[in-house]
Amino acid sequence: MSMLGVPSAPTSHTGSVKEPLHLYCLPYAGGSGRVFANWQKLFPPEIKVCCIDYPGHGARRSEPLLDRIDRIADGLAREIASRSHARYVLFGHSMGSLVGFEACHQLARYGAQLPELLAVSGHGGPRVPRSSPPMHAVPDDQFIAHLRELGATPPEILATRELMELLLPLLRADFRACETYEPSWNRKLAVPIAVYGGVDDEDADIAALRGWQSETSGTCVVRMFPGDHFFIADQAEAVASSLLHDLRETGLRS
């Protein structure tokens, strides 16, 4: 199944309309494209929101899980490279930030068209040392306690053994992918970067977010929003508004 998925909601166009800008949205660890299911309504019709599922997630749950960022990103990059896009943008939250970053480098390696903007959210620069110890290999009870602290997984799911037996392999694979990722690229991206963070996110504070500035030869802006690591849930409209602003600032919609 294609990684690029489908738009988050149908869009209709009448008359002569230029090619839409594709906004590929990459979810956090344990998430699927459904995280962005309502995002289309936050953007004008000329921006086509496409929700991404990683292998083993969401609509692709029958596929084998991947526990390496470079392999996940390579699949994404190959699909993007195989399509003819006039314009596109990558937006990733947390794990999705690393997938988007690595995909940009893979696309450059293939000589493919690069995104006009890489927007990363809820994750420090890829070369910034992690502020917390790795969790992907700890015992189940410790891992579940960590998930409870993060707050993204509903308590009723965490308390249901049968559901957690299904979810733990997926979550561990995602955590391993993030916690073992080390960029192998020495060159800077020729792509502007917009960086978004939550003011109460201890694992991605302003100093860590500024680590993205050294990854591009273009512009890099850092914007903060109220909330913790999962601020994009409550701040979706503000994030979309900032993304539109950053698109205009970089001249992408002219």
pLDDT digits (tens, 9 = 90+) for 200-214: 999 899 999 999 999
- Average pLDDT over all residues of the chain: 90
- Sequence letter at residue 159: A
45 vs 24: CA distance, rounded Å:
15
Residue 217 confidence class, pLDDT cut points 50, 70, 90? very high
Is residue 134 a part of any domain in this protein? Answer: no
55 Cβ partners below 8 Å, 6+ apart? 3, 63, 64, 65, 66, 72, 75
Q: What is the pLDDT of residue 2?
A: 60
DSSP 8-state assignment for residue 41? G
Catalytic residue (choose from 2, 12, 32, 94): 94
Identify the CA nearest to 91 among candidates 25, 46, 29. 25
Taking only Cα atoms into account, the Rg of the chain, rounded to an integer number of angstroms, comes to: 17
pTM reported for the whole predicted model: 0.91
Is residue 150 a part of any domain in this protein? Answer: no
Q: What is the pLDDT of residue 250?
A: 77
Residue 242 confidence class, pLDDT cut points 50, 70, 90? very high
Residue 1 confidence class, pLDDT cut points 50, 70, 90? low
134 vs 243: CA distance, rounded Å:
31
Is residue 33 a part of any domain in this protein? Answer: yes
Q: What is the pLDDT of residue 10?
A: 39
94 part of the active site: yes
Is residue 106 a part of any domain in this protein? Answer: yes
Is residue 176 a part of any domain in this protein? Answer: no
Answer yes or no: are the C-beta atoms of 93 and 232 closer than 8 Å: yes
Q: What mean pLDDT is predicted for residues 153-169?
A: 89
Is residue 2 a part of any domain in this protein? Answer: no
228: containing domain: 21-129+183-249
What is the number of other CB atoms lying within 10 angstroms of the CB of residue 254?
6
29 vs 17: CA distance, rounded Å:
36
Looking at residue 245, which CATH number applies to its domain? Answer: 3.40.50.1820
Is residue 165 a part of any domain in this protein? Answer: no
Residue 58 φ/ψ region, left for φ over 0, alpha for ψ in the -120 to 50 degree band, beta for the rest: left
Query: Going along the chain, which residue ranges are E strands?
Result: 21-26, 47-51, 88-93, 117-121, 193-198, 220-225
Picking from 32-36, 62-66, 155-159, which range would have the lowest pLDDT averaged per residue? Answer: 155-159
Q: What is the pLDDT of residue 18?
A: 67
Looking at the 3D structure of the chain, how many domains does it have?
Answer: 1
What does 153-192 look like in DSSP terms, one character per residue? S-HHHHT-HHHHHHHHHHHHHHHHHHHT------SPBSS-
